[in-house]
Amino acid sequence: MTDGRSGVQSVERAAAILRVLAHAGTAGTRLADVTQAIGLGKTTTHRLIKTLLDLGFVERDGETRRYRLGLEVYTLAMAAQSRLDIIELARPSLVELARQTGDTVFLSIIDRYEAVCVDRQVGSFPIRTLTLNIGDRRPLGFGSGSLALLSALPDSDVRQAMEVNASHQSTSSGFDVSEIYQLVEETRAQGYAFNDGRIVSGMSAVAVAILGRDNLPAATLSVAAIAERMLPERRSQVVSMLQHEAEMVARRLDPLRRPREHTAA
């Protein structure tokens, strides 16, 4: 227990150092100033900074002997920025889909083996289907958006996700691994994911993946409604709208992207 707490404490202290350097900007700051700012001894602070230097999170100017953030921090920042970008780039499509369908539209992205809802727009239909809040997570394969993300991954990644999430699937809504695999095949064949009330009874949803430049899923758009509004004829219309807007978002992400051919809904 002591070792675990010590590890957490080291991470907290390292994070405090990075925050101090972030405020210092490109000019950097002296070791003494960092020590004073975080309230630790000089030896402890120097040891932590040395580790951050070795990992590339901190740089030291040879002339001024000041410390500043390293390139590794900017690499992580760019990765985080790309996720923020897709929220902004996809928002016009969420608004348009909510306007056209009158239903609730969700934007989800992958975080390791989970799907995370990062944006939502509510349509004008009186019965609202608020099955996800922004920030909600689901194991890949659970729900239409999550299933669309999983189905767009290579087979090896699908298998790995199934292995990691097996414990969740055994107790959630009666799903099992074999059923998830079957749903993945169906999603790939028809060109969209369909959830017919498996998560919330009486609520259905369809989803389409947004593919990035590497042809991997950058995100997914999904529309949820009461089951009566997702009967085959209307479902086909909603899927067509989703595919169109997913392509629009993909082109905003990569203006040189070639149009994607969709399986007929």
Residues 80-103: tens digit of each pLDDT: 655 668 899 999 999 999 999 999
Q: What share of the chain is helix, strand, coil (3-state, %, to 5)?
A: 55, 20, 30
Please give the DSSP secondary-structure letter assigned to residue 26. Answer: G
Residues 101-119: tens digit of each pLDDT: 999 999 999 988 899 999 9
Residues 27-48: tens digit of each pLDDT: 889 999 999 999 989 999 999 9
> Is the pLDDT score of 2 beyond 50?
no
Q: Which segments of the chain are extended strands (E)?
A: 58-60, 67-69, 104-111, 114-121, 137-139, 193-196, 203-211, 217-226
Burial 180-205 (b: 16+ CB within 10 A, else e): bbebbeebeeebbbbbeebbbeebbb
Which residue, 161, 224, 153, is CA-closest to 195? 224
% of the chain at pLDDT higher than 70 = 87
Residues 141-162: tens digit of each pLDDT: 988 999 999 999 999 999 999 8
108 strand-pairing partners: 117, 220
Q: Cα 150 to the chain's mean position, in Å?
A: 12
pTM for the full model?
A: 0.68
The pLDDT of residue 25 is 83
The CA distance from 90 to 197, in Å, is: 26
Residues 220-261: tens digit of each pLDDT: 999 999 999 999 999 999 999 999 999 999 988 876 566 665
221 Rama sector, left if φ>0, alpha if ψ -120 to 50, beta otherwise? beta
Q: How far is CA 202 from CA 17, 103, 199, in A?
A: 51, 14, 9
Domain annotation for the chain: domains and CATH numbers: 2-69 (1.10.10.10), 76-253 (3.30.450.40)
The pLDDT of residue 256 is 59
Residues 163-198: tens digit of each pLDDT: 888 765 554 455 578 889 999 999 999 999 999 887
Mean pLDDT value across residues 48-77: 87
Give residue for tokens 């994911």: 193
